[in-house]
């Protein structure tokens, strides 16, 4: 019998995750959905063929919902995860896990207390290109990772019919939480934990909101390596790039992620095109792993602790922005 899922938050991201689960995870099925915005709920019901729930409580009361996908606005993740755990549901929560490490702790404690599993959708590390890069680095082919540079330039945040939560810090967390959280997690997968962060950013008044239009985060890792993540929401063109310097070589990929290349120098370079890389895409990989973790107790590809670690860095970056000085991760 397939594992029954409920969808909480039926915007574009939620519906895409639910469609991937329905189409590519054989041991799971979508049963119900909830969203307070009627048009989103109607779309999900029609596209996914699921029953609409009139409230979060109604969805969590359903016997055919054994697990939930939470893809609601960022500020709701904590309370909805706690409610789902208390109802005995396993939880897959879209990134960012929450808007503070304290909220992440509440989520993890609630799930542990209820004896249910919790996974966070930090899926950039699961892109086939990222998986190959992680394998190359873990195998020591390039030596010790020493420096990383990642960029994510978003075209613009615009009001949506369902609201503008993604344009207010109290709801989305701001630029680093909303746009750089994936890069933070990928750097953790490559370099290990972050010790301290610095931040620089600016607002140019091109969009009405209460957080920066551009931001740069400098991460100092416990390993001694460093990383820089630059992100923006006012770019004319959307792009996502990565560079990696190691003691014995380098690696890079460019927008639009058509290839990965790595090696000791330009004369000894391995170039792999994205179309050559086998395996599931990032959403299929995380959702399949979540279902198999529940059903077969297989080791998950992502953990709540990893989701919390990324949030702790974003929270420290926010403090660095406010104080104008470097902040140790986890500092009060």
What is this structure's pTM?
A: 0.96
- pLDDT for 208: 61
- Considering the domain 3-123+282-300, what is its CATH architecture? 3-Layer(aba) Sandwich (3.40)
Query: What's the chain's Rg over C-alpha atoms?
Result: 20
What pLDDT digit, counting tens, does each position of 45-84 carry?
A: 999 999 999 999 999 999 999 999 999 999 999 999 999 9
Measure the CA–CA gap between 78 and 76, rounded to whole angstroms: 6
Residue 310 has pLDDT above 70, yes or no: yes
Query: Quick one: which of 222, 217, 230 has its CA closest to 320?
Result: 217
> Where along the chain do the CATH 3.30.360.10 domains lie?
124-280+311-328
- pLDDT for 207: 65
DSSP for residue 178 = I
∠ Cα 158 161 162 (to 5°): 100
The domain over range 124-280+311-328 is classified in CATH as 3.30.360.10: yes
Exposed, middle or buried by CB within 10 Å (0-12, 13-18, 19+), for 242? buried
What pLDDT digit, counting tens, does each position of 81-129 carry?
A: 999 999 999 999 999 999 999 999 999 999 999 999 999 999 999 999 9
> Where along the chain do the CATH 3.40.50.720 domains lie?
3-123+282-300
3-class state of residue 271 by DSSP = strand
User: Strands (DSSP E) along 192-238, which ranges?
Assistant: 194-202, 214-221, 226-232
Q: How many CA atoms lie within 13 A of 19 on its CB side?
A: 12
Predicted confidence band at 27 (pLDDT cuts at 50, 70, 90)? Answer: very high
- pLDDT for 331: 78
What are the contacts of 169-174 at 24+ separation with CB within 8 A? 169/209, 169/210, 169/211, 170/75, 171/73, 171/74, 171/75, 172/73, 172/74, 172/75, 173/74, 173/75, 173/96, 173/99, 173/314, 173/318, 174/211, 174/212, 174/318
């Amino acid at each position: 019998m397939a594992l029954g899922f409920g969808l909480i938050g039926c915007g574009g991201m939620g519906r895409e995750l639910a469609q991937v689960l329905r189409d590519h995870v054989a041991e799971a099925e979508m049963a119900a959905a909830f969203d307070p915005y009627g048009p989103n709920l109607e779309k999900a019901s029609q596209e996914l063929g699921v029953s609409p729930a009139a409230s979060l409580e109604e969805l969590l009361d359903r016997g055919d919902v054994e697990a939930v996908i939470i893809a609601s606005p960022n500020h709701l993740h904590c309370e909805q995860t706690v409610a789902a755990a208390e109802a005995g549901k396993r939880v897959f929560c879209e990134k960012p896990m929450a808007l503070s490490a304290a909220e992440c702790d509440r989520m993890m404690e609630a799930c542990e207390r209820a004896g249910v599993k919790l996974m966070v959708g930090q899926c950039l590390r699961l892109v086939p290109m990222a998986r190959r890069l992680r394998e190359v680095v873990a195998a020591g082919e390039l030596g010790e990772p020493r420096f990383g540079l990642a960029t994510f330039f978003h075209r613009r945040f615009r009001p949506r019919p369902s609201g503008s939560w993604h344009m207010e810090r109290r709801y989305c967390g701001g630029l680093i939480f909303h746009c750089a959280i994936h890069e933070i997690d990928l750097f953790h997968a490559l370099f290990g934990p972050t010790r301290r962060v610095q931040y620089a950013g600016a607002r140019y008044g091109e969009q009405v909101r209460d957080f920066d239009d551009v931001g740069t985060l400098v991460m100092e890792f416990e390993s001694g390596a460093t990383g820089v993540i630059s992100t923006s929401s006012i770019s004319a063109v959307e792009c996502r790039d990565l560079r990696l310097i190691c003691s014995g070589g380098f690696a890079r990929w460019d927008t639009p992620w058509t290839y990965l290349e790595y090696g000791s120098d330009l004369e000894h370079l391995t170039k792999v095109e994205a179309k050559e890389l086998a395996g599931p895409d990032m959403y299929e990989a995380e959702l399949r792993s979540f279902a198999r973790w529940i059903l077969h107790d297989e080791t998950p590809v992502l953990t709540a602790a990893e989701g919390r670690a990324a949030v702790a860095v974003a929270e420290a970056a926010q403090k660095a922005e406010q104080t104008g000085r470097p902040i140790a991760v986890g500092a009060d």
